[in-house]
Structure 1
Amino acid sequence: MRTRKSIFITGGGSGIGRAMAQHFAAQGWMVGISDLNQQGMDETKALLPDGQCKTYKFSVTDIAAWDDALADFTRITGGKLNVLANNAGLPSGGPLTEVTHEEIDLLIDVNLRALFYGAKAAFPYLKAAAPDACLLNTASAAAIYGMANQSVYGATKAGVRSMTESLDAEWSAYGIKARSIMPSFIDTPLLQNPPNRSRNTPIRDSVIKAGLEFTPVEEVAQEAWNAVHGDKVHVLVGKTARKMGFIGKWFPGKLRQRAKTLAQAHEKSEGRPANA
């Protein structure tokens, strides 16, 4: 009997993770999702065909929990994992002077350190599925060029980009490829939160005032599918991200100006002078 292909998605309780789960399940894949939000995971599972999803509540910063979840999930997939989607992340931001040390540590832990934990835990299962195996990391267009008020977030995503390139080279000998998707702003529930504890305005409001576009989660899910099955190490998702990639390559000075525009939008959204 042919074993159904499988994907394990972190941050599967909402947003990009939920959209990925729906997209891959629609293609007949077995889906495992993790999140700290059990209700969100239950809602995602209810959107998928019966018997095609298992949920795991744990923090992606918990090494032992990674091992336990993947060991359990792969019991029903023949000990194999075709794709690990390292998708869980936090959107925290704001001027570095406003971000607390605790927020810096949490952002680095969840957005970067945890991806290494997931990759290490998934490696033997990906190896067992090779050459039909892929590590899929959710990076960001923020990794193309550093934006104001995103110094820590952008640094973590630039780290994800570098990690992906390194592991694509390291793991090629085992038949495992590494890919990243690099979307710009996605209109998910995470953007309803302020960028950090000292701000009150949701991130979404600042993005709108800066005149930037949102990319639908369904488009991100489709590009995730394309990344897993394609040859590009990094896949830019959405018009804004693709435009940033082009400008970053040929006209980096324009991205410097965009960074300043975003900074001004953040200040105005809080009712502060732009040069405060």
Structure 2
Amino acid sequence: MTKSIFITGAGAGIGLETARLFASKGWVVGAADCDQNALQSLQAELGEKVCSTHVVDVTDEKAVADALSAFAECTGGAIDALHNNAGILKVGPFESIDMQDHRAIIEINVIGLMNVLYAAFPYLKASSGAVVVNMSSASAAYGTPDFASYSASKHAVRAMTEALDIEWEDHGIRVCDLMPPFVNTGMVQANAGASGLFDSLGINLAPSEIATEVWKQVSSPQLHRPVSGQFKILWPITRSSPTALTRAVMKKLRRGS
């Protein structure tokens, strides 16, 4: 039986590469994004039988519910995997960023993710062994300077992942996340130079590499999957080190290389 995955933010970057990868594995893809032209290009590339497109703003609760309902009609009422990828980023000192931008980060990265989770639940439950892969971030390990609201949003994603992985276990659904550092997407490039952290840590991951990690999570879920050799080393250290040490490291990284 053909497997299915619903992907938000599928018009570019990580979501686009994830759609391509899963389609290449024989999965049916539900591609959601607010960019209609990008979705049309993706569907033309993958084919209508493989790719169902849904123009939706994840902050619109009704639109999200309608999109998931429409995709579930194509898959017999069940969805095998959900990739909560839609998100935005704005980098800089907290006070230099407009409150409208701070609010949008929380609305899209947190409330939007919750909207999708809520609407997807019955279709995930109808599947056998469904998996949710949320996009958290390395910035969820410790509050990250110049990324204050974004980091806060990814802490929320991490907490939501941990809570639902327990709650939804009763329904046969695994909930996990990915925690990558900087990925070379248009969103990150638009903010490059706004923090010394970009220089310290580099922008070394390609969207296709993250798509591969999504595949790994769906195939063999683990609650938190740190991405990149660098962060795989730092992740356990940040969890066990004294707060003062982690804070000092973050201050040093912010100064840049």
Give the TM-score category using the shorter length. Answer: over 0.9
Contact 2:22–2:29 (CA under 8 A) maintained in structure 1:
yes
1:271 is aligned to none
1:240 to 227, 230, 248: 230
Aligned-partner residue type, residue 209 of structure 2:
E
1:135 is aligned to 132
Name the CA distance, whole Å, in 1 between partners of 2:19 and 2:248.
Answer: 37
Contact 2:141–2:239 (CA under 8 A) maintained in structure 1:
no
Say if 2:251 is the partner of 1:260.
yes
Contact 1:60–1:114 (CA under 8 A) maintained in structure 2:
yes
1:221 is aligned to 211
Aligned-partner residue type, residue 199 of structure 2:
K
Q: For residue 97 of structure 1, give the secondary structure of its aligned residue in structure 2.
A: helix
- 1:82-161 equivalences under 5 Å are 82-129=80-127, 131-161=128-158
Aligned Cα RMSD in Å?
2.0
Contact 1:141–1:244 (CA under 8 A) maintained in structure 2:
no
Instruction: Compare CA radii of gyration and give the structure with the larger one.
Output: 1
Q: TM-score, normalised by structure 2?
A: 0.92
1:48 is aligned to 46
Instruction: After superposition, give the CA deviation of every residue in 1:240-261 in whole Å (9 maximum; x if it has no partner).
Output: 3212203313445554334223
Name the CA distance, whole Å, in 2 between partners of 1:47 and 1:106.
Answer: 31
1:230: how far off? 1.6
1:77: how far off? 0.4
CA 1:187–1:205 in structure 2 vs 1: closer, same or farther (change >3 Å)?
farther
1:222: how far off? 1.2
Instruction: After superposition, give the CA deviation of every residue in 1:213-270 in whole Å (9 maximum; x if it has no partner).
Output: 42122221111111122241111111232122033134455543342234334xx9xx
- 1:187-226 equivalences under 5 Å are 187-194=184-191, 202-203=192-193, 208-226=198-216
Aligned-partner residue type, residue 38 of structure 2:
G
Contact 1:213–1:240 (CA under 8 A) maintained in structure 2:
no
Instruction: Say how many residue pairs are matched.
Output: 256
CA 1:60–1:170 in structure 2 vs 1: closer, same or farther (change >3 Å)?
same
Name the CA distance, whole Å, in 2 between partners of 1:106 and 1:193.
Answer: 16
Say if 2:71 is the partner of 1:80.
no
Q: Percent identity at matched positions?
A: 36
Q: Which runs of 5+ in 2 are unaligned?
A: none
Q: Which runs of 5+ in 1 are unaligned?
A: 195-201, 269-276
Q: TM-score, normalised by structure 1?
A: 0.86
Name the CA distance, whole Å, in 1 between partners of 2:174 and 2:57.
Answer: 25
1:5 to 3, 6, 19: 3
Q: For residue 161 of structure 1, give the secondary structure of its aligned residue in structure 2.
A: helix
